[in-house]
Amino acid sequence: MLSKQSIRGTVKIKMDGQLIEDKEVLINESKLWSENEVIFFKKMIKQGGNFSLGGRNYFITPNVDNRSLV
């Protein structure tokens, strides 16, 4: 299961086309996931992308790390 700390505030997450504003929605969804699915979701939060998990479609836009641009 996900925790509030694992979902960064600067990451934009869309579930089935709807922007998720409340972390509780994702935490409730993650209760049905296996351990491997939770690990995959956490990796996708860092990386970003479009994927399907638990019968729902997700699109994640990660926060921009500007340290590499210096």
Tokens 């509780």, residue located: 24
- Residue 70 inside a domain? The answer is no
- Residue 16 inside a domain? The answer is yes
- Residue 68 inside a domain? The answer is no
Give the domain range for residue 53: 4-63
- Residue 69 inside a domain? The answer is no
- Residue 51 inside a domain? The answer is yes
pLDDT more than 70, % of the chain: 91
Please count the structural domains in the chain: 1
Residues 5-34: pLDDT tens digits? 999 888 999 999 999 999 999 999 999 999
pTM comes to: 0.85
The three-point CA angle 35-63-8 to 5° equals: 45
pLDDT value at residue 69: 41
